[in-house]
Chain A
Amino acid sequence: MQSEPPFLAASDLTKTFGESAALRGVSFGAERGEIIAVTGPSGSGKSTLLLCLSGILLPTGGDVVFDGKALRTMNEAARSRLRRTEFGVLFQFGQLVPELTAVENVALPLLLSGNSRREATTTAGAWMDRLGVGELVARRPTQMSGGQAQRVALARSLVTGPKILFADEPTGALDRQSGEMVLTHMVDAAKSSGTSVVLVTHDRHVASFADREVVIEDGLATAHAH
């Protein structure tokens, strides 16, 4: 029997910035509902890998295929649409619009997809309740703690029901307790909705939340643990 190709597959990815090679031939695969930690030392290329996998950056060589579609063949608008509908992204800093309330921040991707304001805010509110930040709907990001803001950002990245969530050091700016809470919510939400997660981290403890670990060193995937 022929095995099904991975849900997200990258083959022989290279990415150079000027003279410097950030990725030097990385192959990667993720199955539906799988949580994968991408670890490695600073400057090893793990964030560049995530940016290439999520279509934010186009690799210099190789390609990323998601659900049978090659990202290289899509234009910028199509990749944006893909990130808005099929992917979720979560970063360490700066993803919430400081002037919008928490519920408006979460509702933003839904408004962009043509939902009415009422529908969007209702769904956004439900996600905020689910992640334990339901009481913060009317607050602005500057009126929240780092952990609360990151859970609101997590709600925004999950609100469209993405098939895969890309998270780049999502707890890097948080204290241990807040980080733990964000990770627990992220893993629970992903597991319950069957969302795959690609989690970039340099923290061994954070990586322990994943099903599998890919180690990147000097632009190469050197080991697969777990």
Chain B
Amino acid sequence: MHTEATGIRWAALVWLAARTGRTDRVRISATAVVSGVTTVFALAAVAVINIGGNDGPYSSDLLMQPGLRVGVALGLIVFVALLLVLTAQCARIGAPARDRRFATYRLAGATPYDVTRIAGVETALASGLGAALGALTFLIGKPLLNGLTTEFGSYTRERPLSRDTVVFEKVHGQLHLLPTDVHVAWWAVVVAVIGLTMIVGAVTQLAMRRVRIGPFGVARRASQRIPRKTPALMFVIGTVFLALFSPLRAALGMEADASRLLVVFVVLATVVTSVGLLWGTAALAQMIGQWAAARTSRASVLIAGRRLAASPFTASRTNSIILLVALVGGFIQGLRAYLMAVTSSAQDPFYATTMNFVNTALGVAVVLAAVGVLVNTGETIVTARQTLSGLVAGGVPRGVLRRGLLLEALLPLLPTIPLAALAGVLASRGVFGTEHGESLGTVAHERVVIHVVPIPWVQLAMLSVGTLLAAALMAWIALLFVNASTDPGELRTTA
């Protein structure tokens, strides 16, 4: 019999990774599905980037104009980044139960490195399978969609007459709605599948860094750090700088496009604002938690408040994506208000149409970010199942626990989402300006009309309320785990 320590074989790794229960299957399926969707978006970005002179024509100027295409590709890449975070979150669904199983492997002689590899193999298999299916869907779906989304219409074509002269002519013909006619190289597909699988695997390993799986159980190293107030200051400073950017630039007599240094300043201020927002959420969550827990006579508020105060960094980690989406969303609303003020949509509907398209994409981003809230709230419930079971056994109604968990998910978001959206609007107004001068009349009788850019209060409110509602809905869906997680059987399980 082979007993010397030569390390676990790959076949055994795969076999152990496949020993799954119901929660594991949920995790694997969710990881695979989101990986697949991520791959489709990544390949769509590749297709947009690859649009060449022989491709098209397209019904949307966003795909026809090379400058706008870059924006579309960037938007798709942002989606890919969002989906990658979501995939990593999905890869942690039910992880406590899996980690307990790993502890029994440790008891049977597996090393810490072995269990990390088993977890890695499981995630890589799920993510790789999902990415491969996503690539297949993209490759099969592209020609099918090409036939379905082509319509007859007119478009404007540039035709060079001489070296210095270009004429624009209106042409009638077949238009593509999407870049389904663009060739995507096979190696790009392979890179997307392998790259996404590797990134998800790496992020999952990173998520396990605080988990110590020993032969006698699982220990999680919770952060004992007290969140500082400094990040909140960073958020305020960054926002104020962005909001005052245009007046400052004007006061210093700098041209709008005079220096790349200005761009660097804007990017830096954006980073400072975002980091301040995310880290500041931890301090705010702790403050809200302590404040609420110290005053309430309601068990649900007490539980939510104390849990928030005890692990404030969980709140900032959980809410990071949705807060960034709210910040970017606010910026988009500010940009929209600016464009609508300085252009006449009656004459040229291009900007209004484009911003509607961008807002639709923003809506999708909000939903994706809110799915992260679902995953994290579900994870919180599964992790705390023994305590929850004990409380239910002691007569605490499940409704109280549900309300507590819902409050725990939403309390930190109530102030931060409107704040993030407002910061985005202020940043946008700072960068693009709050008014725009339009020169009218003749050279001899020139008059300048000043268009004041309004603060988009309605859009701001819709963004904040919509994002909060999406988060609330997802957290509410996650509460479906409460029943399964309060089974009396949990009372006999060691942690």
Using a CB–CB cutoff of 8 Å, the interface residues on chain A facing chain B are 47, 51, 54, 56-57, 76-77, 80-85, 87-89, 91-101, 104, 108-109, 111-112, 115-117, 120, 140, 156-157, 168
B395 and A104 form a contact (CB under 8 A): no
In whole angstroms, what is the CA distance A168 to B491 when docked? 9
A93 and B400 form a contact (CB under 8 A): no
| Given A89-B394, A93-B495, 18 additional A-B pairs, CB 8 A | A54-B393, A56-B393, A56-B488, A80-B398, A84-B394, A84-B395, A89-B395, A91-B491, A92-B492, A93-B390, A109-B395, A111-B298, A112-B395, A112-B400, A116-B297, A117-B297, A156-B394, A157-B394
In whole angstroms, what is the CA distance A89 to B389 when docked? 12
Inter-chain CB contacts under 8 Å: number: 103
Residues of B within 8 A of A91 (CB): 390, 393, 491
A99 and B394 form a contact (CB under 8 A): no
Residues of A within 8 A of B311 (CB): 99
B395 and A94 form a contact (CB under 8 A): no
Residues of A within 8 A of B306 (CB): 97, 99-101, 104
A94 and B488 form a contact (CB under 8 A): no
Residues of B within 8 A of A95 (CB): 387, 390-391, 393-394
B491 and A120 form a contact (CB under 8 A): no
Contact mask B297-308 → A, CB, 8 Å, 1/0?
111001100110
Q: Output the residue of B307, B391, B395 with the most chain A CB within 10 A.
A: B395
A94 and B397 form a contact (CB under 8 A): no
> B288 in the interface, Cβ–Cβ < 8 Å?
no
Secondary structure dominating the interface of B: helix
> B72 in the interface, Cβ–Cβ < 8 Å?
no
Interchain nearest-CB distance for A150 vs B (Å): 12
Q: How many residues of B contact A (CB 8 A)?
A: 33
A96 and B387 form a contact (CB under 8 A): yes
Task: Give 9 A-B contacts (CB < 8 Å), ordered by A residue.
Answer: A80-B398, A83-B394, A99-B303, A101-B306, A104-B306, A108-B299, A111-B302, A116-B297, A117-B295
B395 and A82 form a contact (CB under 8 A): yes
Contact mask B360-371 → A, CB, 8 Å, 1/0?
000000000000
In whole angstroms, what is the CA distance A47 to B387 when docked? 18
Using known A-B contacts A94-B387, A94-B491, determine if residue A115 contacts B297 with beta carbons closer than 8 Å: yes
> B392 in the interface, Cβ–Cβ < 8 Å?
yes
What 7 pairs between A and B have smallest CB-CB spacing?
A: A84-B395, A83-B395, A95-B390, A94-B386, A99-B310, A99-B306, A117-B297
In whole angstroms, what is the CA distance A156 to B490 when docked? 19
In whole angstroms, what is the CA distance A83 to B397 when docked? 10
Residues of B within 8 A of A94 (CB): 386-387, 389-390, 490-491, 493, 495
Interchain nearest-CB distance for B49 vs A (Å): 48
A77 and B397 form a contact (CB under 8 A): yes
Using known A-B contacts A93-B494, A94-B387, A100-B306, determine if residue A87 contacts B299 with beta carbons closer than 8 Å: no
> B439 in the interface, Cβ–Cβ < 8 Å?
no
A97 and B397 form a contact (CB under 8 A): no
A120 and B297 form a contact (CB under 8 A): yes
Residues of B within 8 A of A117 (CB): 295-297
Q: Which of A47, A100, A116 contacts B302 (CB 8 A)?
A: A100
